[in-house]
Amino acid sequence: MTAWYGEDLAYIHDVGFRDYALKSAPGILDILKHREIQSGLIVELGCGSGLSTEILHQSGYQVLGIDISAAMVAIAQTRVPTAEFRVDSLFTAEIPPCCAVISIGECLSYAFDANSDAVLEALFQRIYQTLLPGGVFIFDVVVPGHAAPGEVARHFTEGQDWIVLVEKQEDPIQQLLTRRIIALRQVGDLYRRTDEVHFLRLFNMENLAKTLRQNGFQVDITDRYGAFSLPPARMVAIAYKPI
């Protein structure tokens, strides 16, 4: 399996980009409570370093975290040793019967492995089949608007012992966002460099909601998890399985 989010980028993402997961979690808990899902198994697709897993676990839920990055899963397992984690593709991993499936942080957009329309619809079908009646599928994806047409957007972020430089470019024909990431992490007196290129599918939310409904879900589309408004060009789908 290809190593996405290797050791250094996983570390940087955990210490420097944790707000997305931490600010999303309260809103997700509110959705679960509104649906009267007070306990049970939650499957977290793209669990990352386990930040949201820890909050769900502390709130009384069992959690199965699945992520394609072994480095991320290693951090998550250390953070929440009593939860179950697997290194696997979220598009093909076995999903056991559960009360909820969540995917925070645009994980369903990532094209690390096959996520064509057919593969994505097959995932929706499997999630619908494994969700208990009244269960919910909550996730967010990227939509167009990360870079102006024909332009490359560049920015950098730095922490105490790391620097990340990112280039973003959108392909409106392929509906694809390309992120070129250069990560520098301090090791001793020197900085170690790693490079990754991530491809993300840009979704049309109207079409996505239509596909979910065709597979049996009732769907709400929003740009927030509770009080937390997502950064620009990201949207949330909340898909319910009828009782």
Same structural domain, 95 and 191? no
Same structural domain, 31 and 108? yes
pLDDT of the residue at 112: 77
pLDDT of the residue at 45: 98
Q: Is 72 inside a domain boundary? A: yes
State the average pLDDT over residues 81-87.
Answer: 97
> How confident is the model over 30-70, as pLDDT tens digits?
999 999 999 999 999 999 999 999 999 999 999 999 999 99
Q: Is 16 inside a domain boundary? A: yes
Q: Which of 73-82, 106-115, 134-143 has the lowest mean pLDDT?
A: 106-115
Same structural domain, 171 and 195? yes
Cα 75 from Cα 93, distance rounded (Å): 20
State the average pLDDT over residues 123-147.
Answer: 97
Read off the pTM. Answer: 0.95
* Final residue in a domain of this structure, among 183, 200, 217: 200
What is each CA distance from 169 to 13, 110, 112, 147, 166, in whole angstroms? 21, 15, 17, 6, 10
Q: Is 56 inside a domain boundary? A: yes
pLDDT of the residue at 3: 66
Same structural domain, 222 and 190? no
Mean pLDDT of the chain: 95
Q: Is 2 inside a domain boundary? A: no
Residue from 127, 109, 66, 138 nearest 198 by CA: 109
Residue 1 has pLDDT above 60, yes or no: no
What are the residues whose beta carbons fall under 8 Å from the beta carbon of 48, sequence distance 6 or more?
Answer: 13, 14, 21, 67, 69, 72, 76, 104, 105
End-to-end Cα distance, the chain: 38
Q: Judge contact between 149 and 172, C-beta under 8 A.
A: yes
Residue 2 has pLDDT above 70, yes or no: no
Q: At 85, which CATH number? A: 3.40.50.150
Q: Is 1 inside a domain boundary? A: no
Question: How is 162-222 classified by DSSP, letter by letter?
Answer: EEEEEEEEEETTTTEEEEEEEEEEEETTEEEEEEEEEEEEPP-HHHHHHHHHHTT-EEEEE
Same structural domain, 179 and 190? yes
Same structural domain, 42 and 17? yes
Give the pairing type, strands 218-222 and 228-229: unpaired
Same structural domain, 190 and 111? no
Same structural domain, 14 and 35? yes
> How confident is the model over 100-122, as pLDDT tens digits?
999 999 999 998 777 778 899 99
Q: Is 137 inside a domain boundary? A: yes
pLDDT of the residue at 87: 97
Q: Is 228 inside a domain boundary? A: yes
Q: Is 32 inside a domain boundary? A: yes
3-state SS string over 41-53?
A: EEEEECCCCCHHH
Same structural domain, 28 and 85? yes
Residue 99, domain extent:
7-143+202-240
Q: Judge contact between 166 and 179, C-beta under 8 A.
A: yes
Total domains, the chain: 2
Residue 187 has pLDDT above 50, yes or no: yes
Give the pairing type, strands 41-45 and 98-103: parallel
Residue 131 has pLDDT above 60, yes or no: yes
Q: At 192, which CATH number? A: 2.20.25.110
Same structural domain, 29 and 97? yes
Same structural domain, 234 and 196? no
Residue from 2, 117, 107 nearest 44 by CA: 107
Same structural domain, 190 and 211? no
Percent of the chain with pLDDT over 90: 93
Please name the amino acid found at residue 106.
E
